[in-house]
Each structure stands twice: as C-alpha cells, then as structure tokens.
Amino acid sequence: MLNSAAAARRALPSIDRLLKLDAVAALIETHGRPLVVETLRAVIDEQRSLLAKDAAIPPPDDDALAAQCAKQLRVLAQPSLRAVFNLTGTVLHTNLGRALYPQVAADAATDAMTRAVNLEFDLGGGARGERDSHVEAWLQRLTGAEAAVVVNNNAAAVYLVLNSLAPKKEVIVSRGELVEIGGAFRIPDIMARAGCKLKEIGTTNRTHARDFEQAIGPRTAAIMKVHASNYAIQGFTASVPEAELAAIAHQHELPFINDLGSGMLIDLEAYGLPHEPTPRETIASGADIVTFSGDKLLGGPQCGLIVGRQDLIAKIRKNPMKRALRVDKVRLAALEAVLRLYADPVRLMRELPTLRLLTRPQTDIEAQARRVLPALAAAVGNHADAKIIACSSQIGSGALPVDALPSAGIALTPRAKRKSGAADALSTAFRALPVPVIGHIRDGAFILDLRCLDDEGGFIAQLAQFQLPAHAH
Ligand SMILES: *Cc1c(COP(=O)(O)O)cnc(C)c1O
C-alpha cells in the first residue's frame, strides 16, 4: 500500500513540466507568471495530500491539473470590491457603499485621477493654494456659512471640531442625543478621543434650557447638539429649540456646534419627502459650526463637511489633525461636481441618483415589478412562488429613521416545508450571480425591493444563470 501511494505521489508532474503546456502559457498571458506558479504549486500540493490519504484514486493527468489551476485563477482574478444590485430597500445602505455618484461627479473624479490637477495650487498667483478652496464658495452659497472645511467623513468632522475647539474642556450635550451611529461611532467615545470632557445634561426624554444654563461653568468650551439620526424619542418629551440653545451659548460667549448627520442641502419637502434639517436653516438659527456627511442624503462622495464661522473654521484648519483627515483630489473633484448640481434644482432632480431613487413613485416601481416578474418566476421555477408585493423602503444611513417610502417589490416564497432554510438558500443563490443581487428575508420569503433597480436589462439577462445549490432542490 505504502509503496503504491508513494508511487502515485511521484506520478504528479513537476511545475516545470506543467509550465510548458499551451493551456498554462495562456494562463500566464492573462494572470502573469508569479500567480500561475503559485497556483500550480497549490494545486499539486492539494493532489499530493489527496493521494496520501487514498492511494486508490488515480493521479490526475496534466490537462486536468491545468484546468484546476485555471479555475482557481478565475476566482482569484475576480475583484473583491464588486458591483451588486441593491434590492434591500435601503437607498443609502452603508454596507453597500451609500450614495451613487451622479455621472458628472464620476467624470470629474476620473479626470482628477488620471491627470495632474491644481489641488493645492493657485492658478492666478502661481503660488501654493488650499485644497478646500475648490468647494468652499459652493458651500458658502448653499449653506450661508462664512467658511468651510472638508475631511474624510462626518465622524472625522465631529472629531476635528471637538479636538480643535474644546481640547481638555467640557462640551455640554443632552442625554437624549448621545447617539451611536453604528460601527464605532458613539458620541461619548468620539468626545473622549477628541480630548474633551462630555458634560451630559437633562434626561433621555426631556432636556430644558435651565439644564444647559446650570451646566455652564468656567471649564465649558461649547454646547453641542447631535441630530438623533437613527432613532426617535416620542411621547413625553422636551428639548430646547436650536435658536434658544444658540442664544444661551452666545450669552456665555460659547460656540454652538450642531452635528446634523445627514444634513440635506435643500428642503426635501419640496420633493414630497419628509423634512430634514438643512445646514442653512441651522446656521440661520444661530449655529456657529455645523457638520454633515457627503454621502448620505447629499448624494456625493464619502466626506465630512464642516461649515460655519470664519474664526472657528480658521482654528479647525490649523489643527495638525486636519492633515491626517483630509480628502484626496478624487473626492474633492466629485464633491465640487455634486455641489454644482445643487445650484440648479431641475438638473439636480434629473441627475442626482440619490434624489431620483428616493422620489421614485410607487406606481413606477410597481410597473417595473410587473416587467421583471416573469423572468424571476422562471429563474426560481417550481422552488418558489413569485409575487408582486407592496413594501416600504428606508432612506438609510441614519436619515429620517421613522419615515418609510412606499415601494414595490417581488416576494419569492419557497414551496419547501422548511421555509427559513429555503429562503436562505434563495438569498445565497442570488448572491452567487455574476452581479450579486442583495435582498432581505422576511417571514420566510426572500424579498427584492425594486426601488433601486437601475439596470433592469442587465438584471433580467443574468437571471438565465441563476442556479440553486443542489441541496436546496
Ligand atoms: C452618520 C452620522 C455620523 C457619522 O457620519 P459618517 O459620514 O458616517 O462618518 C455622525 N453623526 C451623525 C448624527 C450621523 O448621523
């Protein structure tokens, strides 16, 4: 036995011999020699241990080994970061990359990526420039603020503001606003990392003006308001209106900071959506510094925007941490293009994917559901029933948490007895498509909310490749 096993192992070819095969030469052409050699080695090692366990299996021939190598290389060649169909019903899905760039922003980003640009270069004077200058005028125009700074994301914006304006000092925040956004963003933690002391006041449901007034002391550096992005406190509640908070802060010569989270630049009510506070309103009611995200409702690239009073912005800009948190030319180019769209409401509605998706009428989505239903029903065959359903989409990313958007979709209900496992199998099979389809499971059915289905043709075409795993049949 032992001898024949050893013989079988010896029957495996050398890497050099495999490298001479035409099929392997073609792989080198596509993937480059180092990866092909690494993969061949892995394939042979695998075979060697298989043969060591069971000498009865015949050793594979050279072509079979090359084919196995080709298969592994195909997997390796697939990008890790891939396009997917977001049919989750959450428009701004943090795990799926939040806002989609409008085409003008994608074009501007590509240009900035592939060419030299005047990122920190003043074309008028020929001297060193400031990278935020490319978007500052637009932000002034759109928010009414005196000045603006752009950083990596809104978490960075909050950190930088606190670290610049209140190091080693107290910042007063209502207990009703000590939010956790998800992941590692919690106001108390950011506050600690920024070197500030959080002074919590009031209670979860009720905070009054006197709570703020009593908390102000010689160590107070700012009053801060945080937008309750992903929850709502309802019932017996009280909070202090922004203008009143600003007045209290200013009486004590303190800055009033407002973290808006999403911070939509225009009034969403004009588009039939629920109201979301805008930086312009917030500044008008007395905020000295406002922070918000670039890739939530604003619909642009990931970044954090800080707008407000000139003297405070100057302090923020001087903080050495600004350098560590700055954005690159690509995102600045995209942001400038997006802000430009905001200057023209007609173009904005037509070209900004986030706004277009959020305002898609239910009837439009339902009509689309009727068009894709036959292809979906055919793909799942007799494994599931496909039915058009009304559903409600979420805005996502902590924007307007209690407001749902009426939408339509398709529910795939497995015919199998053990529905939950069968719905999981459907979900897995949809994720295995060339462009993975991401939906959600509810009440034993796999649900596809079609609000964000842009490429309908591509979606239908790839369903021809839909395959349930063998054990799900
Ligand atoms: C989303 C959010 C943040 C974090 O913003 P990112 O852009 O995700 O870093 C901070 N504060 C509030 C209130 C938010 O809603």
Measure the N-to-C terminal CA separation of the chain; round to a whole number of Å: 40
Q: Is 181 in the pocket of ligand 1 (CB under 6 A)?
A: yes
How far apart are the CA of 180 and the centre of ligand 1, in A? 9
User: Which DSSP string do the residues of 93-119 spell out, in sequence order?
Assistant: -GGGTSSPPPHHHHHHHHHHHHS---T
Q: Is 351 in the pocket of ligand 1 (CB under 6 A)?
A: no
Q: Is 319 in the pocket of ligand 1 (CB under 6 A)?
A: no
How far apart are the CA of 193 and the centre of ligand 1, in A? 16
How far apart are the CA of 86 and the centre of ligand 1, in A? 21
Residue nearest to atom 15 of ligand 1 (CA): 261
Question: What is the per-residue pLDDT for 402?
Answer: 64
CA-CA-CA-CA torsion for 284, 287, 291, 293, nearest 10 degrees? Answer: -30
pLDDT in tens, the chain (473 residues): 456 656 666 678 999 999 999 999 999 999 999 999 999 999 999 999 988 888 788 888 999 999 999 999 999 999 999 999 999 999 999 999 999 999 999 999 999 999 999 999 999 999 999 999 999 999 999 999 999 999 999 999 999 999 999 999 999 999 999 888 776 789 999 999 999 999 999 988 999 999 999 999 999 999 999 998 778 888 888 899 999 999 999 999 999 999 999 889 999 888 888 888 999 999 999 999 999 999 999 999 999 999 999 999 999 999 999 999 999 999 999 999 999 999 998 999 999 999 999 999 999 999 999 999 999 999 999 999 999 999 999 988 766 556 789 999 999 999 987 777 899 999 999 999 999 999 999 999 999 999 999 999 999 999 999 998 766 54
Yes or no: say if 413 and 384 are a contact pair by the CB < 8 Å rule.
yes
- Which atom from ligand 1 is nearest to the alpha carbon of 230? 15
Q: Is 155 in the pocket of ligand 1 (CB under 6 A)?
A: yes
Q: Is 396 in the pocket of ligand 1 (CB under 6 A)?
A: no
- State the pTM of this model: 0.92
* Residue (of 132, 157, 109, 145) closest to 301 by Cα position: 109
Residue nearest to atom 7 of ligand 1 (CA): 154
φ and ψ at residue 172, rounded to 5 degrees: -90, 125
How far apart are the CA of 398 and the centre of ligand 1, in A? 8
φ and ψ at residue 254, rounded to 5 degrees: -110, 145
* Residue (of 315, 354, 344, 334) closest to 135 by Cα position: 334
Question: What is the per-residue pLDDT for 409?
Answer: 98
User: Would you call 350 helix, strand, or coil by DSSP?
Assistant: helix
Adjacent-strand bridge partners of 410? 388, 448
Spans of all domains in the chain: 4-77, 85-93+358-472, 103-351
Region of 397 (left: φ > 0; alpha: ψ -120 to 50; beta: rest) is left
- Which atom from ligand 1 is nearest to the alpha carbon of 259? 13
Instruction: Return the CATH fold of 103-351.
Output: Aspartate Aminotransferase; domain 2 (3.40.640)
Question: What is the per-residue pLDDT for 420?
Answer: 72
Q: Is 59 in the pocket of ligand 1 (CB under 6 A)?
A: no
Instruction: Return the CATH fold of 85-93+358-472.
Output: Aspartate Aminotransferase, domain 1 (3.90.1150)
Pocket residue to mutate for ligand 1, from 96, 154, 303, most atoms within 8 A of Cβ: 154
CA distance 288 to 245: 11
How far apart are the CA of 92 and the centre of ligand 1, in A? 13
How far apart are the CA of 257 and the centre of ligand 1, in A? 14
Q: Is 258 in the pocket of ligand 1 (CB under 6 A)?
A: no
CA distance 294 to 152: 9
How far apart are the CA of 260 and the centre of ligand 1, in A? 8
How far apart are the CA of 366 and the centre of ligand 1, in A? 32
How far apart are the CA of 163 and the centre of ligand 1, in A? 17
Q: Is 66 in the pocket of ligand 1 (CB under 6 A)?
A: no
φ and ψ at residue 264, rounded to 5 degrees: -75, 140
Residue nearest to atom 5 of ligand 1 (CA): 154
Q: Is 149 in the pocket of ligand 1 (CB under 6 A)?
A: no
* Residue 190 vs residues 20, 181, 199, 387: alpha-carbon distances, Å: 58, 11, 13, 46
Pocket residue to mutate for ligand 1, from 179, 181, 290, 291, most atoms within 8 A of Cβ: 181
- Which atom from ligand 1 is nearest to the alpha carbon of 293? 7
- Which atom from ligand 1 is nearest to the alpha carbon of 304? 7
CA distance 447 to 440: 5
How far apart are the CA of 344 and the centre of ligand 1, in A? 26
